[in-house]
Amino acid sequence: MKYKSEDIDLLLQQLHIEEVVGEFVDLKKTGANFKGLCPFHQDNNPSFVVSPNKNICKCFVCGAGGNPIKFYSEYKKISFVEAVEELANKYKEIEPNVVVEVQGVGSSAGVKAAADGTADMGMVSRELKDSEQSDDLEVTTIAYDGIAIVVNPANGVENLTSEQVKGIFEGTITNWSEVGGADADIIVVTREDGSGTRSAFEEILGLQQEIDGKKVSSISQGALVAEGNGTIKATVASKEGSIGFVSLGFIDDTVKAISVNDVMPTVETVKNGEYSVSRPLLVITHKDGTQTTKDFLEFILGDEGQEIVSEKYI
């Protein structure tokens, strides 16, 4: 899709750089500007400057930055929502009269929207909870995603058992020396409540406890909370003793993925079931959905749709 330059200018007038960057970087006010750790390299001293007056940002170490659109495009890697957006754009080429609007609102909201009819499809990146099951809904798996346990590249630990991962995130294991690493405190980084990745991670590793008949998270209250895979990755990359979890497609050389139960997270190990920390990517539709919705779902599951999905998922 092409945009006219005046459309871009209008969009930039509506975007505030401190708000765009602030979604992913912890910013501190310094005079007329804001400053934070650069998300594009392993930054130990805040070198990323955000200028609201100029509506731009820049790292004075690696040079990364730009206007709100450039920052967002460089920072974000393709997500589940973006994958569906690409599918929607491709489907529009085939069915130009069909408009597919995609909103990234989280897995729980996706289920609710499909159930109450405010959306034709709900996107969910975890198994459905018992409370979300309904005879009126149809659940279709369109792909799988591995959840990688990541540490700082300087960390010497290469493998953890499932029980060790559980103990670390619950706060019963607090020093890397307890799992064969250096004598250093463990900094736990987790996703926000409502995150499909977090829900799947908790369910797979048993990071849940029952209180008053309800299952709640048992992740340590002292854990750092980061919104989005990119923010977790940036936090782990900047803190040597940290550990977090991200979707397999977000792994790069700024963090180190470790094996779980002696199995590394790869496309092959997720596909064959050897790597246990993985989740389904689901599309939820109402059984009384429109034919257009059914046609779009059929396209997603077809060869062309799966080719797009496979660019980032399994």
207-226, pLDDT tens digit by residue?
988 888 788 899 999 999 98
Which pLDDT belongs to residue 7?
39
The pLDDT of 102-111, averaged and rounded, is: 64
Could you tell me the two tokens for 267? 């496309």
pLDDT digits (tens, 9 = 90+) for 230-256: 889 999 999 999 999 998 878 888 999
Name residues whose C-beta falls within 8 Å of residue 87's C-beta, 6 or more positions apart in sequence: 100, 299, 300, 305, 308, 309
By percentage, how much of the chain surpasses pLDDT 70? 84
Residue 10 — φ and ψ, nearest 5°?
-65, -40
- Among 28-42, 99-113, 137-151, 295-309, the range scoring the smallest mean pLDDT is 99-113
pLDDT at 5 over 50: no
| From 54-63, 104-113, 270-279, 283-292, the region with the lowest mean pLDDT | 104-113
Q: What is the pLDDT of residue 148?
A: 95
Is the per-residue pLDDT at 83 higher than 60?
no
pTM for the model stands at 0.55
**Separation CA 127–CA 137 (nearest Å):** 14
Partner residues linked to 243 by β-bridges: 151, 188
Look at residue 4 in the predicted model and tell me its pLDDT: 37
The sign one gets for the Cα dihedral 172, 178, 183, 188 is: negative
Kindly give the pairing relationship between strand 48-51 and strand 56-59: antiparallel
Decide: helix, strand or coil at residue 190. Answer: strand
Token pair for 39: 């998300």
Q: What is the mean pLDDT of the chain?
A: 83
Residue 209, classed as helix, strand or coil, is strand
* Confidence label for 103 from pLDDT (cuts 50, 70 and 90): low
The CA-based angle 126-197-105, given to 5 degrees, is 85
- Asked if 231 and 191 count as a contact pair (C-beta separation under 8 A), the reply is no
Distance CA 221, CA 255 (A): 24
Which of 19, 24, 75 has its CA nearest to residue 52? 19
pLDDT: is 196 or 129 the higher one? 129
Spatial contact of 247 and 265, defined as CB atoms under 8 Å apart: no
Q: Given this model, what pLDDT does residue 91 score?
A: 59
pLDDT above 50 for 108: yes
Question: What pLDDT is stored for residue 255 in this prediction?
Answer: 95
Confidence of residue 11 (pLDDT cuts 50, 70, 90): low
Question: Which structure tokens are listed for 16?
Answer: 């505030």
